[in-house]
Structure 1
């Protein structure tokens, strides 16, 4: 078939123009070369494709049948070329993004709003799932880019940090007071714990984690892995754990006084300021971690992807200034 492609191009041009000399001019080859190619194609197919006369050539019945199929093929190629030109000139394209529900709400959506306004012709597809699944989809080329917490192994991933986030433990003051009363401690001491910042309270901290209803993201979430490592490193004992699969529910459950929740500080600043929840001081704060856009090193960076990455970098520089 590959050897016949040039023959079909010549056949198509001759059939379209109805004249060998016109086809030769359009293809920038000699008339004898045109005639030789037509003869070769006829020999390959073992049919006569053209009838020659003084005014030019016209298709035989077999030639007309072949022309209809060849014309459809070349029309499809032309449409493909025009589509590519349109994509290039107008910036039309598609980007598949993987992101957790939490990062989508608090980080991706504000960024996407401005990007879509700047590039309205680019189609955006959002796949919401855990960071673990997002990384797997990147590896399997099922998405183009992901917004994730910085992975421990960046061997096959290019990572562009967006911001740092800090994990903290929060609860309502009433819940902490009730917890203290249940353990037959004074409510005054727990007030000191939740109101004073920067003071070490290792004993009370240990009691809170051991006795409280501790609300954490489930094991499918990379944040849970990070918190489990913190507990193991500092030998923190926990007994009552309620697993929840979204950060939004963790925050809401904490606000209604259901327990102590591990949340991302940057996402609950308004609730902390309004005193709906309070941060529990830790003797050893949990280290901050980076969140950013990641894509496979083997991924082809389409014009749409390059626009997305460049737009992010430009806006990040502007925000830092």
Structure 2
């Protein structure tokens, strides 16, 4: 039996969501185009209905309580389910409608042109938005329901949601040739500490530079290398490395996205003996039921990144049929690491870590 609810309950939940996200009744009212008194009434009504306190009030901020956090999770899940219901029930002609947002690093987005093109062709009435962000920002966007799907690159599988591994990429040292420092074929941390490095620094919610909270960039920072320049963009990182400003450590996905096969003048060496491989995968919120349009996009991304999900797997050397297999241009899957070129890519041999 369906329990009767107050007709305004969903609006109360909307007001609660925006207060929880902003920490302010006034800011929530601005976002919702309502009066602050209306938002305050919605919060009070919810607390009476649920017989609990959702916020600790102070003069400057509303601090969410533990019960408030639980309700926030259920609120996001509820509205996601409603959006999926509207998209599903409204498909009288079999055409999906609505909107789907996928968050991923810019380098990953360059690998998704084929599945995106197919999705748009098959679902012309779905509005698709790709949100470019660093991997920790991708996780936050999904957790906060600003994105339906995330495709981050992590070194530790996140526990806050559902993570499905698609592929792995090795960490690589990128250094302009003629840098004046002799490196062995298998460099040690001591060797790396003799080099000037360009690092990646994220930005916090206030726009200030901060250490990346996860992933390869965090692991590289922990190695205490000699940083001479920091940026918050991997394309700029590689551009500066190619210009000779310093060395850089990125994964194979970044190399493929921003350098392609143009490695002239660069010394590129694998570093998976020193740093963890980057795990790329699909990330969804816990207790979420993907909308029909999100589920359709998930299926195409899986087929693109995991050939076996769409049929018999092709041989690893079939780069044209499966360009997503991380067999990077100019790489021989049997070539030894010689300090000048990348040998086997992540898909052609098991990662060491």
Normalising TM by the smaller chain, what interval? 0.5 to 0.7
- In structure 2, the residue matched to 1:89 is 94
The Cα of 1:140 is off from its aligned counterpart by: 1.8
State whether structure 2 residue 95 is matched by structure 1 residue 108.
no
1:81 positional shift: 8.2
**Which secondary structure state, in structure 2, belongs to the residue aligned with residue 112 of structure 1?**
helix
Contact 1:171 1:260 in 2 (8 A): yes
Contact 1:102–1:246 at 8 Å: present in 2 too? no
3-state DSSP of counterpart to 1:89: coil
Aligned position for 2:212: 220
In structure 2, distance between residues paired with 1:224 and 1:253: 16
Residue 168 of structure 1 is aligned with which of 158, 169, 172? 172
* Aligned counterparts of 1:157 and 1:253: Cα–Cα separation in 2: 35
Residues 245-295 of structure 1 show CA distances to partners (whole Å, capped at 9, x for unaligned) of 111111111111111111223443566764331124659343322101111
Which ranges of 4 or more aligned residues in structure 1 deviate by more than 6 Å? 80-83
> For residues 248 and 239 of structure 2, what CA distance do their matches in structure 1 show?
10
Supply the distance in 2 between the matched residues of 1:256 and 1:224 (Cα, whole angstroms): 21
- Once the 2 structures are TM-superposed, how far is the Cα of residue 95 of structure 1 from its aligned partner? 0.5
Cα distance in 2, alignment partners of residues 271 and 220 from structure 1: 25
Q: Give the equivalent residue in structure 2 for 1:143.
A: 147
Of 299, 303, 321, the residue aligned with 2:288 is 299
How far has the Cα of 1:110 moved from its partner? 4.1
Flag the 1:82–1:169 CA change in 2: closer, same or farther, 3 A. Answer: closer
1:206 Cα offset (Å): 2.2
C-alpha distance 201-145 of structure 1, shift in aligned 2 (>3 A): closer
Native 8 Å contact 1:272 1:279 kept in 2: no
Work out which of the residue numbers 201, 206, 214 in structure 1 matches 2:190.
206
TM-score (norm 1): 0.58
Seen in structure 2, the aligned counterparts of structure 1 residues 241 and 140 have a Cα distance that, compared at 3 Å, is: same
Task: Report the counterpart of residue 245 of structure 1 in structure 2.
Answer: 232
CA distance in structure 2 between the partners assigned to 1:291 and 1:251 by the alignment: 20
Q: How many residues align?
A: 217
**Matching residue of 2:162:** 158
Work out the CA distance in 1 between the residues paired with 2:164 and 2:124. 24
* Correspondent of 1:311 among 295, 300, 303: 300
User: In the alignment, is the contact (CA less than 8 A) between 2:171 and 2:271 conserved in 1?
Assistant: no
Write the deviation string for residues 37-69 of structure 1: whole angstroms up to 9, x where unpaired.
Answer: xxxxxxxxxxxxxxxxxxxxxxxxxxxxxxxxx
Residues 141, 114 of structure 1: CA spacing in aligned structure 2 closer, same or farther, 3 A cutoff? same
- Cα offset, 1:170, TM superposition: 1.1
Change (3 A) 1:160 1:258: same
Q: Contact 1:94–1:123 (CA<8 Å) still a contact in 2?
A: yes
Residues 1:279 and 1:146: Cα distance change in structure 2 (over 3 Å): same
Does the CA-based 8 Å contact 1:96-1:126 persist in structure 2? yes
Distance 1:275 1:87, change over 3 A: farther
Distance 2:149 2:87 in 1: 27
Which structure has the bigger radius of gyration? 1
Which is helix-richer, 1 or 2? 1
Runs (5+) with no aligned partner, structure 1: 6-79, 181-189, 232-236
Structure 2 counterparts to residues 246-265 of structure 1, below 5 A: 246-265=233-252
1:120/1:160 CA distance change after superposition, 3 Å = farther
Kept after mapping to 2: 8 A contact 1:210/1:239:
yes
Q: State how far apart, in whole Å, the 2-side matches of 1:150 and 1:280 are.
A: 20
Judge which range, 147-156 or 215-224, deviates more.
Answer: 147-156
Consecutive unaligned residues of structure 2, counting only runs of 5 or more, are 8-84, 202-210, 315-353
Aligned in 2, Cα 1:157/1:281: closer, same or farther, shift over 3 Å? closer
